[in-house]
Amino acid sequence: MPLMQIPIVYEDRNFLAINKPAGLVVHGYRVSGIGSNGETRMAKPEHTLVDWLIERYPGITTVGDDPAERPGIVHRLDKATSGIMLVAKNQKTFEYLKSLFQKREVRKTYLALVRGVPKTKSGIIDAPIGIRNGTTKRSVRSAKMAKEAITEWKVLKSGSRKLENGMNSAVSLLEIRPKTGRTHQIRVHLASIGHPVIGDKLYGGKLDASAAGFYSPRLMLHALSVEFTAPDGKRMKLEAEIPEVFHISDLGSGSE
């Protein structure tokens, strides 16, 4: 398989930072009920970030908590989310970076284009996230396996975008800073306050789940940057280029 085109934001002998494209799966995922004993196995999408890593960095196959499945992967992004990701090249760096994320010493910043205009210019969502019974969806209303989740947000700009039916509707570009790292946290939290991420077919409600919803070529969520202290003690801020679809020249200044 030829190398995929994945932009490298930064690289040294210990780790690299890449700008993951939207639509790319980070690694295979576990499924149940496969095999004569119904054992859990890994489902393998056609192309993954791990494929790219192994082909470009063969030595990475021994790095990580589960190198056979997630070599070098310190953290992950949803398939539909683009943006910055850190990947360790050796076990020592993997353990170091993993500890930073566990101790919440990595400052993460996202951009999200959401439906509507918040009543305030900024806010904090402090609501535990659990799993809905009988599904894999997350919710702030479910107590099942609920875990602490905190998300800070602020409005950068507000205006309007066209729906697929030709009508305009209010939208806002938000800067998001998650303080915890729960699965689907940003998407669940923003939907819970009535401003789901545009293009979110899982948490966006009927508008984004149907062809009559907002026109969006993708989930409008982008991991913009990470700030942390590197293994050599240097303070770093690594930023992924903002995709064209997030450019907001057509938005008004409703938040100003």
What positions carry a catalytic annotation? 78
Residue owning tokens 């859990």: 40
Q: How far apart are CA 6 and CA 199, in angstroms?
A: 23
Q: How far apart are CA 183 and CA 61, in angstroms?
A: 25
Any idea what the Cα angle at residue 84 is, between residues 202 and 120, rounded to 5°? 60
The encoded tokens of residue 48 equal 């993954």
Max Cα-Cα span within the chain = 61
Q: How far apart are CA 155 and CA 117, in angstroms?
A: 8
On whether the CB atoms of residues 46 and 60 are closer than 8 A, the answer is no
Q: DSSP per residue over 67-107, as a string?
A: TTTSTTBSS---TT-EEEEEEESSHHHHHHHHHHHHTT-SE
Q: What amino acid occupies position 108?
A: K
Q: Which residues contact 168 (CB under 8 A, 6 or more apart)?
A: 160, 161, 162
Question: What pairing do the DSSP bridges indicate for beta strands 221-229 and 168-178?
Answer: unpaired
